């Protein structure tokens, strides 16, 4: 095993360790790989729903506005011509998908890279368990202060109680995400990661192996 992460209690004192394999700790950060994965993630979140109508789709314009010759005016076939006010649009945006095909192996390797980098930098705080019966933001703030979490905090969960999740949702600097939804972008966008022992072990077993 190449490394270990200390498991803390709610006061910030060590209660154990989690071993991390070489595949995670010794993986070198590949900027081009991470860029590819993040670009794919961002592309998937583009709506691509902008839509315009061509002259054949705009309502009206079925009758020729005036005869072809003899009026002294330019010939016209429809009042919905793109040249007219209220007419169709030429080469306007149409609904489309911006998604980029990123291989699953590339996504997994990029996730290993950024998780390993966060672990090596000491930005991952693993607590043994959080068992709050009622949601209280004060408890969440107290825990973050005890663990010295600063800046943007990513809280990773795995089947945690609703009371625990709701305790953190009121904090604007905290983003809560489940292990199966964790992605490279969220990790890079955070300064520190807070997770329970159960969630961190699930991440290793389900996403990083």
Q: What is the pLDDT of residues 59-107, one digit of tens each?
A: 999 999 999 999 999 999 999 999 999 999 999 999 999 999 999 999 9
**Band (2; pLDDT cuts 50, 70, 90):** low
Is the pLDDT at 49 greater than 60, yes or no? yes
**How far is residue 162's CA from residue 132's CA, in Å, rounded to a whole number?**
9
Q: Which domains does the chain have, with CATH numbers?
A: 3-46+102-208 (3.40.1370.10), 47-97 (no CATH)
Q: pLDDT (tens digit, 9 = 90+) per residue, 153-180? A: 999 999 888 999 999 999 999 999 999 9
- What's the whole-model pTM score? 0.81
The predicted structure's pLDDT at residue 69: 96
Comparing 1 with 132, the larger pLDDT belongs to 132
Please report which confidence band the pLDDT of residue 1 belongs to, taking 50, 70 and 90 as the band edges: very low
The Cα–Cα gap between 20 and 33 comes to 22
Would you say 177 and 137 are in contact if contact means Cβ atoms under 8 Å apart? no
Q: Give the pLDDT confidence score for residue 28 in this predicted structure.
A: 79
Is the predicted pLDDT of residue 195 greater than 90, yes or no?
yes
Res 23 pLDDT > 90: no
């Amino acid at each position: 095993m190449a490394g270990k992460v200390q498991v803390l209690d709610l006061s910030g004192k060590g209660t154990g360790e989690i071993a991390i394999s070489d595949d995670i700790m010794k993986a070198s950060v590949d900027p081009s790989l991470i860029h590819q994965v993040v670009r794919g993630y961002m592309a998937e979140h583009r709506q691509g729903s902008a839509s315009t109508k061509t002259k054949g789709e705009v309502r009206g314009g079925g009758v020729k506005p005036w005869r072809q010759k003899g009026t002294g005016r330019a010939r016209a076939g429809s009042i919905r011509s793109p040249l007219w006010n209220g007419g169709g649009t030429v080469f306007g945006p149409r609904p489309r998908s911006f998604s980029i095909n990123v291989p699953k192996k590339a996504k997994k390797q990029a996730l290993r890279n950024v998780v390993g980098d966060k672990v090596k930098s000491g930005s991952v705080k693993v607590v043994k368990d959080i068992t709050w019966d009622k949601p209280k933001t004060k408890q969440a703030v107290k825990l973050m202060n005890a663990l010295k979490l600063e800046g943007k905090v990513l809280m990773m969960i795995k089947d945690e109680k609703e009371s625990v999740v709701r305790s953190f949702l009121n904090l604007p600097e905290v983003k809560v995400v489940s292990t199966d939804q964790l992605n490279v972008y969220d990790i890079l966008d955070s300064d520190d990661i807070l997770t329970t022992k159960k969630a961190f072990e699930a991440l290793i077993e389900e996403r990083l192996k």
